[in-house]
Amino acid sequence: MDPNSVKSTLSNLAFGNVMAAAARDYQKELMAKEKAQSSCPVNQEVDLDELMDDPELEKLHADRFTALKKEAEKRQELQMQGHGEYREITEPDFLGEVRASSKVICHFYHREFYRCKIMDKHLKSLAPRHFNTKFIKLDAENAPFFVTKLGIKTLPCVILFRNGIATDRLIGFQDLGAKDDFPTRTLEVLLLKKGVIEEKIQGEEDDDDLENKRRTVRSSMNTYSDSD
């Protein structure tokens, strides 16, 4: 046999063995990747199943559901007592309204007084956002007994009640900058300091915030219009 032919045959065999080994290795790598990919959803499903059966998670869910239910029941009860809106009452209803809620803001007003109308606007804006506090108003002319009993001499007069007891009052605008154009937030902060309302939920905006944003937008539009 020709030595060169034998050498060529051995070389071809060796190269074939290398290629075969490489092909096997490549096939093993592909199979490993496919196995890893196919195993991911299975692992996720197992983890989710284990998570759903977690007694601690079930307890948290149950506690949250109970808290939400109590909150809804409390809100419904307060709504039945007149919370969530700024309402006008009459003198015969005054004691019942004040004693029925733990926190009450009552505005004694006069129909013809301009500043009473300003106070109305701000209290009407605050009432829906501070649901735990009752907001009411009473025509001073039609409530002579309580006007005298509470020593009301200047209008508007906003009296703050805690558990049926008058704890503080706002007389005119003297605590609000003594100006007619004070923002709702100024009144809100004052009522917060006096403890008759709670801080509103973050992200809520009052009428003044929205109006300021509208003014900013309108100003920007006018600027662009002038520049064209």
- Which CATH number do you get for residue 169? 3.40.30.10
Is residue 103 in a domain? yes
Task: Kindly state whether residue 74 falls inside one of the protein's structural domains.
Answer: no
Tell me how far CA of residue 196 lies from CA of 138, 168, 170, 187, 190, in angstroms.
18, 9, 12, 12, 9
Residue 44 placed within a domain: no
Whether 50 is in a domain gets the answer: no
Nearest alpha carbon to residue 84 among 25, 124, 138, 29: 124
Q: How many domains does the chain have?
A: 1
13 falls within a domain: no
Q: Which of 45-49, 92-96, 198-202 has the highest mean pLDDT?
A: 92-96
Residue 151: alpha-carbon gap to chain centroid: 39
Beta strands 134-139; 103-109: pairing state = parallel
Higher-scoring residue by pLDDT: 149, 62: 149
Domain housing 152 = 79-201
Q: Answer with the residue of higher pLDDT: 221 or 192.
A: 192
Query: What integer pLDDT is reported at residue 203 of this predicted model?
Result: 45
Residue at 206 is within a domain? no
216 inside domain: no
Model pTM?
0.59
Taking only the tens place, the pLDDT of each residue in 66-124 is 767 766 766 666 666 678 999 999 999 999 999 999 999 999 999 999 999 999 999 99
Q: Which residue has the tokens 């100006």?
A: 179
Residues whose CB falls within 8 Å of the CB of residue 169, separated by 6 or more in sequence, listed in order: 157, 158, 159, 160
Residue 20 lies in a domain: no
The Cβ of residue 132 has, within 10 Å, a number of other Cβ atoms equal to: 15
Q: How confident is the model at residue 227 (pLDDT cuts 50, 70, 90)?
A: very low
State which H helix or E strand residue 56 sits in: helix 55-80
